[in-house]
Structure 1
Amino acid sequence: MKKRKIFIALLALVMVFLTACGTQQQSKANSGSSDKVTLDFWTFWGSGDRREVIESIISDYNKSQDKVTVKHSYQPWGDIWTKSLSAITAGNPPDVIVQDIMSVSQRAEAQQSVDISRYLDAGTKKQFYPQLWETTQYQEGTYGLPFNTDTQVIFYNKQIFKEAGLTEADLPTTWAELEAVGRQLDVKKNKTYSRVGFYPLWNLGAEVWALNADNGTSWFNDNEKIKINTKNKVAALQWILDQQKHYGKSTINRLEAEFGSGVSDPFLSGTVAMRAQNLNYYTSLKENASKDFEFGVIQLPEFKSGSGHWSWGGGFTVEVPKGAKHVKESAEFIQYLTSEKVQQKFGAASFDIMANEDANNNLIDGTELDETGQMIYAMAAENMKKTIMTPVPLTAPDHTNLIQEEIDSALLGNKTAKEALRDAQSAVENLVKQNQ
């Protein structure tokens, strides 16, 4: 009986010990759980391939480690940046956000974003196309990392070329050749055009042709000196006016009124034989073109032989807004988003030109894409060598509107090309003086 009592007492002590251990372990587990960080990631990718792939990437990241959980918050295009500004002002911003690549320095100067350079790996800079990396720099700090970009090219309808007796040897390499080939592809009955070979403002702005003509120099040069009223840019605007005159404003307006998306796309319908576009336009062709539709892609022709196939690109960055509570963890997630394999995965799904150069190169020879997809990325690799980024100068935030007003005046016939760019130069010079 005595032994039985001793046994029961020992058993009770064991149960108490095990219960205490379990409680302690549960307490540790709860403590670990409370230490896990949740990051709110804002994008405008609300549907289609981009949403699917970004959510897959986020899921991969969440499974890859146990310190951070990333939550994807979709914000509609156009609303995302006004909402983020309000959230920053209120002191409750998202942790990571997709932002316009051209205005990084504006946000940095306004203290709307965070310098993440202290959290970056030593080799981070080398991952990106140099012109993209430069857009993220402000006063020796790095205010986000480039995510994706684009570059402008010309798509051409192979069937229409064949019907006109043109071969690949006839593909234009200069502006003069572009104009001549365009004329061969025009279809006109009496005074009415049913097909336009090429019109430069479908779908590029005059600023792209201006930098193409001026050795890759946009409205500002690398030292932020105003370069609007230059000889080559005047010649570029005059060339655009000459193309407008050739087809006539009535033809241009009539056809533009018929332009649409899908099967109403003028390139797919055969209304336009060659069309300047962002290279990512391929996604629209892939989705809407018939199986027998044949197209090719060429670089923007050179202004003059040897002047260079200069093009323009835009794109987006991923940044940490000012006031974000978990900067270190956010910066680590941004590095993950811009890493080679992740960028390759996003590019294969979206056909965006990714900021990570190796990711794009991998898609050229990899197994993810078919022959046409590989051709698109091969063109991207070549075109990015001459693709210019045009970040908004801090001293001229609204300069594009001033320049466009003058270009529109020339297109309306109210000013000559020389007068328009002379007045644009003067207007932007005054804007810079006001902001210095």
Structure 2
Amino acid sequence: MNLKRCVAACVATLSIISLAACGGGSGESSGVTDTKSDKGLEVLGENVKYDPNHLVNGGKPISVDYWTWGDKSTDPVISLIKDYEKIYPNVKINVVTVTWDDYWTKLPLALKGKNGPALFNVHNSQDALLRPYLANYDIPIKDLEADYTNVNTHEVDGKVAYIDSVINTGNIYYNKTMWKQAGPTDSDIPKTWDQLVAVAKKLTKFDGSKMVQAGFNINGDSTYDALWQGLNYQKGELMFNKAGTKGNYDNAVTKENLQFLKDLYDKDKVGATNFGDDATQSFGNGQTAMVYRWGWMEGTMKEKYPDVDYGVFATPTFTEDTPFAYDRYNGESTAGINKNQSEEQQKVAQDFVKYMLANDDFQRYAVQALNSFPAKKSMQNDEQILSNPVMAAIKPRIDRLIWPGPAPSTMETSPKQAFQNVFQNGTSISKAVSDAQTQIDKDMKSGSFTSVESKYAFYDEAAARQ
């Protein structure tokens, strides 16, 4: 579900040894000296404010490093760096790209020393790994909360070391050509799962007994391993227990929802386990009419299937009443600051972070690069942003999306195995769910994860059930 991870695999790895040899992040720079404190620029921001009319590092040349696994097309910080350097010609921020797989080994090693990057890309799934090296933002928490959504989920002792820049969740992608051929109109966009099933039946085609077009495909990765969480949340079932330390997968709601999905194939005949093993590929090849996917799907469609005419609508719910939550969301994180770097470099990093958080352009860069909804409240009604169908689908639901925290990967991998056992191996739902819970318990036994579900504004609506 992470676009950045997919792209990162294609990015060349840079060696830490070679970086050290080049003197990355040494502080002193042979660049120009800036003597113009009054830049003639307006103050940015509403609550988190940034006045660019000052000298950074006293105007003296300075070089700092920013580490990332992405590139300009996937990491909005890179675009913002170019803007920042234009304002402060004495500051050089070196972008150092490391592949995703190497990043989580090389970055912690670099951060332990004195010459690690002053700034670095953060992924919330690696919070425990990065937390010992993160400096807190030098910005009042009340100002951050006034400007940004869900800041409280990242608070530790009243401080934050990063927040969400943009957020994403699941939606339904549908083939407009198939939709038109089958007869439904825009007024038939499903609001409930029953309505989706009815439309999916119209979109399913057979040649005799052989399926030639699936109405709704849930095969392969990135469907059930993500969708089960949203389905459970819609019915008020939390992902973790009250203490937030144990996965809550083996329950009646999980089984009920898994049966609902199985009935899509066995009873409703809108898809099949032996048709379109990879739902994304099947959709792109024009064999499947609808799939559940997150925002990364747009990048995949542009890159691999540019000729497909598709639309996006919000994931249905079980009734038209407002659910406990429409789905889980995940945020893309703002840049982190290395607390082990020099005071001089940290001051530059803090200045850049404040510029980033006050600057609406950063939100635009992030929305475009990550196909995700702005976490900055003032940008959530922006007409240009809402012209994107994914953003338009997320907008009405922003307050009813829940984040459980950087959940252990077993909360996706173990349910995915249960799905495969039920759909492909003939295992009973009860046994598959029970086996998955056993694996989840085993995987989480030695961990220190605690869910942040209790910080969700409507938590009490579900807590009573647990």
Quickly name the TM-score band, shorter chain normalised: 0.7 to 0.9
Equivalent residues in 2 for 1:3-402, closer than 5 Å:
35-46=60-71, 49-50=73-74, 54-65=77-88, 68-105=91-128, 107-108=130-131, 111=132, 113-120=133-140, 122-130=142-150, 133-201=151-219, 203-215=222-234, 217-220=237-240, 223-224=243-244, 226-245=247-266, 252-253=273-274, 255-256=276-277, 265-286=281-302, 294-306=309-321, 308=323, 310-317=326-333, 318-325=335-342, 326-347=345-366, 349-350=368-369, 352-358=371-377, 360-361=379-380, 364-366=382-384, 372-373=387-388, 375-392=389-406, 398-402=410-414
Partner-residue secondary structure (3-state), 2:100? coil
Deviations 1:330-384 (A, max 9, x none): 233223223341323304642532543346425x414xx7x853x4322232243
Decide whether aligned partners of structure 1 residues 158 and 166 sit closer, same or farther in structure 2, where only a CA change above 3 A counts.
same
Decide whether aligned partners of structure 1 residues 93 and 414 sit closer, same or farther in structure 2, where only a CA change above 3 A counts.
farther
Partner-residue secondary structure (3-state), 1:41? strand
Deviations 1:56-76 (A, max 9, x none): 421211222366432212222
Superposition deviation, residue 78 in structure 1? 2.6
| Alpha-carbon RMSD | 3.6
Query: Size of the alignment, in residue pairs?
Result: 389
Unaligned residue ranges in structure 1 (runs of 5+):
1-25
Q: 8 Å contact 1:114–1:143 — kept in the other structure?
A: yes
Unaligned residue ranges in structure 2 (runs of 5+):
1-31, 36-56, 449-466
What amino acid is the match of 1:125? E
Superposition deviation, residue 93 in structure 1? 2.3
Decide whether aligned partners of structure 1 residues 404 and 278 sit closer, same or farther in structure 2, where only a CA change above 3 A counts.
closer
Instruction: State the partner residue of 1:14.
Output: none
Distance 1:231 1:319 in 2: 40
Distance 2:154 2:367 in 1: 25
Partner-residue secondary structure (3-state), 2:71? coil
Decide whether aligned partners of structure 1 residues 86 and 434 sit closer, same or farther in structure 2, where only a CA change above 3 A counts.
closer
Partner-residue secondary structure (3-state), 1:220? coil
Partner-residue secondary structure (3-state), 2:227? helix
Decide whether aligned partners of structure 1 residues 345 and 214 sit closer, same or farther in structure 2, where only a CA change above 3 A counts.
closer
For the pair shown, the structure with the greater C-alpha radius of gyration is 1
Partner-residue secondary structure (3-state), 1:124? helix
Q: 8 Å contact 2:247–2:411 — kept in the other structure?
A: no
Superposition deviation, residue 155 in structure 1? 1.4
Distance 2:285 2:415 in 1: 33
The answer to which structure has the higher helix fraction is 1
Decide whether aligned partners of structure 1 residues 255 and 426 sit closer, same or farther in structure 2, where only a CA change above 3 A counts.
closer
Distance 1:409 1:285 in 2: 29
Superposition deviation, residue 302 in structure 1? 0.4
Q: 8 Å contact 1:105–1:138 — kept in the other structure?
A: no
Decide whether aligned partners of structure 1 residues 398 and 45 sit closer, same or farther in structure 2, where only a CA change above 3 A counts.
same
Distance 2:59 2:391 in 1: 44
Q: 8 Å contact 2:212–2:287 — kept in the other structure?
A: yes
Decide whether aligned partners of structure 1 residues 150 and 213 sit closer, same or farther in structure 2, where only a CA change above 3 A counts.
same
Percent identity of equivalent pairs: 18
Distance 1:60 1:72 in 2: 14
Superposition deviation, residue 254 in structure 1? 5.0
Normalising by structure 1, what TM-score? 0.75
Decide whether aligned partners of structure 1 residues 146 and 420 sit closer, same or farther in structure 2, where only a CA change above 3 A counts.
same
Q: 8 Å contact 1:39–1:69 — kept in the other structure?
A: yes
Normalising by structure 2, what TM-score? 0.71
Partner-residue secondary structure (3-state), 1:38? strand
Decide whether aligned partners of structure 1 residues 307 and 122 sit closer, same or farther in structure 2, where only a CA change above 3 A counts.
closer
What amino acid is the match of 2:86? K
Superposition deviation, residue 191 in structure 1? 2.7
